[in-house]
Chains A and B, each alone.
Chain A
Amino acid sequence: MSVPIERPPRKDPQAATRPAELPPLNRSRSALGMTAWAARGIFALQVCDACGRVAYPPRDACSGCLSTSLRFQPVEGGATVIAETTIRTSTDLYFRERMPWRVGMVRLDSGASIVTHLHGDVAVPGPVRMVAKLDKGGNAVVIALPAEDSDNMADDLQFRELTASPKFRRVLVTDGRSAVGQAVAARLAGAGAVSVFVGIAEPWKPFAGQSELAAMANVETMELDLTDTASVTELAGEIGGKTDIIVNTADHVRPGGLVGQDALATAHQAFEVNVFGLQRLAMAFGPGMRARGGDGTNSAAAFVDILPIHAFANLPEFGFHSASCAARHSLLQCLRAELRPGGVRVMSVFTGPVDDDWRQHVPPPKVAPSQIASAVLTALNEGIEESFVGDVAQDVMARFLADPKVLERELSQ
């Protein structure tokens, strides 16, 4: 079993905050294929189309038959550890601050051998489960986990480096007026977050779930309006120095495309919340989070954005909403690059249509707020950069990967 981490003491204001060092960043184009799968939480390796050999590390030609037709595919994680060592010193700035570090050699059941990080609970020799995760620099790495879950295994320090666990962290949920925001706040408060700050816009307007939200343990509501720069800046002034995880649950949803009578005003509002709201959050909280990415047990860890899958392809019935989400998706890619130097992960949680008042006329399957809350927690606990919640989200993504043009036509029929 792993030793459970302890709640960190309050910060010593005289101690310098350690800058977030990153593990080695450079990867070949081939290796980034593994990163792309790991970003979605899937362990994938190159498999040779010609001879079926599983290749690791990623390469441009098969070491068995010299075929250049190697494709990443999900592979089984079953493996056996055959050797281990513990590194106690390193010249690498990232690892030298985290010594000792356990590494080993495993042989996959599918044949490849891998030099890998070893979870502290792995017994050597013995069976392990191989998983691929993103390290703090955003690259895929593999870690061998014990074949069966062990006690407190999420608290293993090497494993925690690969996740953004909310345990002992302080979370900001940006929109507590919505059922999604309330479900996320409740789930993260129940998952060990020390504080969950919940933003409420226009507090003079009552909203459903208000009293339940006020009664949640470790949850504190704060005034926050993402359309108001001053409001976001003021909240960052209060809690920006101790916000470790942001979950942006805000989403302005209205039906309509470009040519409706009210289209321009509605479009403005959608972009104010979905696009510029995200920017205001990033501008106000991003620099502080980026500076605190290496700040110990409760370092700044993740910026999570919940957005509709139609960021990838326009749903004309919600045309401008889709457009705002596409902009949001693009900006998350930018933010990912901007926060990476601080070791802060930017996670996208793509959802199918949420079961809310604005999508009453949309046929099922729809996504319940609790499903989204679960996906957010899983993304944080597993370090998953892109999640797809619900059948519609998964289906749209699969069709997008197959051919975006076909998807466009299907969505507009």
Chain B
Amino acid sequence: MTQPPQPTGADLLQGLAAGLASGTVEIVDLTHALSPDFPVMVLPPEFGQCQPFRMEEVSRYDGRGPGWYWNTITMSEHAGTHFDAPAHWISGRNLPQGTVDAVPLDKLVGPAIVLDFSAESAADEDFLLTRDGLEAWEAANGAIEEGAWVLFRTDWSKHLGSARYLNLKEDGAHSPGPAADAMEFLVKERGICGFGTETIGTDAGQGGHLSPPYPAHFILHGHGRYGLQCLTGLDRLPARGAVLFAAPLKIRNGSGSPLRVFAMVPGKPAGL
């Protein structure tokens, strides 16, 4: 019995281009627009603060530049839909290739697994994704593959524009996120590439009170993995089968970066 011939790289790329052209492969935007009124992480005021996105017009077809329009923008590396590199957290400070300029390109494109916990998050604003929850998900959907980007769907992006997005109370923010055992499982037993959320950070709003504090940041970055946060559009992705593209700006020694995140998904059936 002879094996069917493996497609070459040229075949694959040609197929992808044909799929995009015909619509059998679609692109889903997972990015919020960068805008000044997009909330940023709130830290106690004795710490340095996250600078929100700001834009100052340089010219707009006027006396400052009659034929052109452009702006000066300022922001934190961690404003808007953004990428966290390992060096963002103290646990990843000594890892090689820990800053955004050094992230290997093959980590920036990869298969995406979407964990839909939107119902649980709607029922409990402090919902914690646990190892048990992941094992139950795998029992129903199959194992999470090595090298995948795991995207945690909570539908929290739909709260943007209301106070519920940050959900600040006197004891801090309240939003869903992963427990430490879930992160240990994903990183050490499943070997994921990175973890993405719809909330302001990869951790739960109250994640600072878990052990270790901010387990998603601590465990992901301590093992050289990446974070994505403030994602949107996860409800348009299949549980598996999408390919994620997440390339941060190449900032020298940068700890993270706003970026355009999108996924390629199966589109309309061929021939339609």
Contacts and interface: CB of A to CB of B under 8 A. Distances in A.
Given A205-B42, A262-B48, A269-B49, A228 B37 contact: yes
A227 interface: yes
Contact of B48 (A203, A230, A265): A265
Contact of A231 (B36, B39, B165): B36
B168 A227 contact: no
B49 A265 contact: yes
Contact of A205 (B36, B48, B55, B168): B168
Nearest to A357: B45
What's the interface size class on B, roughly? 10 to 19
A229 B169 contact: no
Nearest to A276: B56
B262 to A, nearest CB: 26
Contacts of B163: 203-206
B162 interface: yes
B61 to A, nearest CB: 17
A268 B49 CA distance: 11
Interface in B30-44: 36-37, 39, 42
B36 A206 contact: no
Interface SS majority for chain B: loop
Nearest to A228: B36
A231 B35 CA distance: 11
B166 interface: yes
B268 interface: no
Contacts of A202: 39
Contact of A227 (B39, B54, B57, B162): B54
A202 B166 CA distance: 11
Nearest to B53: A228
Contacts of B55: 229-230
B36 A230 contact: yes
B255 to A, nearest CB: 15
A408 B37 CA distance: 41
A135 interface: no
A229 B57 CA distance: 9
A386 interface: no
A225 interface: yes
A227 B54 CA distance: 8
Interface string B235-257: 00000000000000000000000
Contact of B54 (A203, A223, A229, A265): A229
Interface string A10-35: 00000000000000000000000000
A297 to B, nearest CB: 36
Contacts of B36: 225, 228, 230-231
Contacts of A229: 54-57
B166 A205 contact: yes
Contacts of B39: 202, 204
Interface in A236-269: 262, 265, 268-269
Interface in A376-400: none
A265 B45 CA distance: 12
Interface in B3-56: 36-37, 39, 42, 48-49, 51-52, 54-56
Contacts of B49: 265, 269
13 contacts: A203-B163, A204-B168, A225-B36, A227-B54, A228-B52, A228-B54, A229-B54, A229-B56, A229-B57, A231-B37, A262-B48, A268-B51, A269-B49
Interface of B: 36-37, 39, 42, 48-49, 51-52, 54-57, 162-163, 165-166, 168-169
Given A204-B162, A228-B52, A229-B57, 19 more contacts: A202-B39, A203-B163, A204-B165, A204-B166, A205-B166, A205-B168, A206-B163, A206-B168, A227-B52, A227-B54, A228-B36, A228-B37, A228-B54, A229-B54, A229-B55, A229-B56, A265-B49, A265-B51, A268-B51
